[in-house]
Amino acid sequence: MDGDSYYDSENGRDLVTCESGRMDKEQDHRQIHHQRVTIHVLPDDVLVEIFDFYVLDSSCYFNMWSRLLHVCRRWRHVMFSSGRRLDLEIFCSPGKRVRRVLDCWPELPLVILPFLNRDYLLKDDEEDDIAAVLEHPSRVSWISFVLTDSLLGKVGNLIQQPFPELESVYLSSRGQALPVLPDNLFGGFAPRLCNLTLVGIP
């Protein structure tokens, strides 16, 4: 047997070749692993651009962007510090433990959207969720729900406050009794409002 060559006569294989092949595979594995973690060397501004594509692509899914927050602490910091740039909004749907959501999330703009149905008639406890969101008028950017006398009784005073971030409002009415909006709607101050739709409301 040659001093630099090793042959396994029982299994009929070159041990040097096998060992070399194993080392090559380990090296390839290390290279692949290294490639997987290279995103961590990207600067924050590049991450923001990547996040922007993700947020835009998932805009039709409520709060889908929040998945990125769970990747690591750095991503969470980058996203929250670039909330305006990424146009991050918190969708507040009734029945989704709204008060808990408001307590644990940063002060991002709020969207009141009862599910995907604009004509959805809210239950009593869901009306309380709407009122909870409207207690933060400086953050509400979008309002969309069916306005009933019952709901108006709960939010009548709340919607007479200034809403500086409000951009879109869609209010509709169902039933014979038409709710009457207060004269001082939104406190007379909603400078960003660009869309106001009232259906069945005088």
Predicted pLDDT at 169? 93
- Residues of the chain falling short of pLDDT 70: 1-38, 56-63, 94-97, 114-120, 175-177
Tokens at residue 11, please? 């299994």
Indicate the Cα dihedral angle 47, 51, 53, 54, nearest 10°: 140
Predicted pLDDT at 101? 73
Please tell me the distance from the alpha carbon of residue 7 to that of residue 44, in angstroms, as a whole number: 54
Please tell me the distance from the alpha carbon of residue 88 to that of residue 75, in angstroms, as a whole number: 14
Predicted pLDDT at 140? 92
Predicted pLDDT at 79? 83
Predicted pLDDT at 118? 59
Tokens at residue 192, please? 């960003």
Contact present, 129 and 95 (Cβ < 8 Å): yes
For 82, half-sphere exposure in the C-beta direction (CA atoms, 13 angstrom radius) is 20
**What would the pLDDT profile of 17-70 be if each residue is shown by its tens digit?**
555 555 555 665 555 555 555 677 788 888 888 888 777 665 544 567 777 777
Where are the chain's structural domains?
42-88, 89-202
Predicted pLDDT at 100? 75
For the chain, the farthest-separated pair of C-alpha atoms sits apart, in whole angstroms, at 102
Predicted pLDDT at 23? 58
Please tell me the distance from the alpha carbon of residue 200 to that of residue 109, in angstroms, as a whole number: 28
**Eight-class DSSP state of 121:** P
Contact present, 64 and 58 (Cβ < 8 Å): yes
